[in-house]
Amino acid sequence: MKFVLLLSFIAFSSQLAIPQLSGAALTEYVNSVQTAWRAATPKEGVEKIMPKLMKHKFVVENKEEDIVEMVKMAEADIPASFDARQQWPNCISIDNIRDQSDCGSCWAFAAAEASSDRFCIQSNGTVNTLLSAEDVLSCCSACGDGCDGGYPIEAWRYLVKTGFVTGGSYESQFGCKPYSLAPCSETVGNVTWPDCPADGYSTPACAHKCTSTANYAIPFKQDKHFGSTAYAVGKKVAQIQAEILAHGPVEAAFTVYEDFYQYTTGVYHHVSGSALGGHAVRILGWGTDNGTPYWLVANSWNVNWGENGYFRIRQGHNECGIEHAIVAGIPKV
């Protein structure tokens, strides 16, 4: 009985050792207890300038029956570092950072971004375009709750069954169905966007037609790009690396804690702050920084956040669940 009580006390004490802070106090604490990454306090408060997250229910560990090992590779053959931007520099999507605005559409963004990369890679550059996050966000009823979040694997299954049309950012109006939600509560370059809606954006209505203001010339049905398979990726680091090396970037979902909002540079690991929701992103490489292995990740919070829109997160520890919820697919070209 004394032993059980001692274990309970130790567990309780360890929880007390990590203060649950916010704002400037959280920034100061994060920067004082570790040097792997740097935090900064947003000037106007986290809630006003950061996008809506997905509901927690959409961050789920991959089921064993969904995992497909598409490629096997000896760990000795996996390079110590890799960057898809350098490996496939002619693919216009790979070094493209988008802005999901105040909508929990990250699951659709990461699927559209990674599938765009994979079409270019699989076709040796003959299909070199940006696929539409709006198409899957607004029209995939089986994917989840639109701007409140969705299941990444279902976005890839939608690519197989229904396909994605082309579409880039709101600012570019590229392709058949560019994103219809403007950036908000931020200044990017020389443009200051209006404040975000008080309750975030609602999911755009589904439109089975091209919506570009640039009068896109290719008809909607002819603009569809389809996948041939959709699958979950194994949870081991080497499996994830082999998948990226063979087929291109992947989509990952993870839990966002309050300190992640304050990330500016370095190799992120959770230090303090409450869990706020789920987020989906695109992993495009890996490396090591001062002896710490990391994943190289593209976010969808525009280029002002993090390392010009990218971030690095600790590898091999399933940090915030990121290594246990990775999905991808093979395009049909």
The per-residue pLDDT for range 266-286, each reduced to its tens digit, is 999 999 999 999 999 999 999
Residue 193 belongs to domain with CATH number? 3.90.70.10
**Rg from Cα positions in the chain:** 20
Is position 95 within any domain?
yes
**Position 135 in a domain:** yes
Quick one: angle between helices 106-122 and 152-161, nearest 10?
A: 50
Tell me, yes or no, whether 13 lies in a domain: no
The residue-averaged pLDDT of 251-279 equals 96
Q: Which of 256, 268, 284, 218 is nearest to 82 (CA)?
A: 284
Catalytic machinery residues: 106, 279, 299
- 199 lies in some domain: yes
State which residues form the domain around 150. Answer: 20-331
Position 12 scores a pLDDT of 37
Domain count along the chain: 1
pLDDT tens digits, 101-151: 999 999 999 999 999 999 999 999 999 999 999 999 999 999 999 999 999
In a domain, 7, yes or no: no
Domain presence at residue 6: no
CA dist., res. 178 & res. 132, Å (int):
6
Distances (CA, A) of 280 to 175, 320, 327: 23, 12, 10
Query: HEC profile for 30-48?
Result: HHHHCCCEEECCCCCCHHH
In angstroms, the CA 13 to CA 8 distance is 8
Measured CA to CA, the distance from residue 124 to residue 293 in angstroms comes to: 30
Query: CA 251 to CA 115: how far, in whole Å?
Result: 9
pTM of the model: 0.92
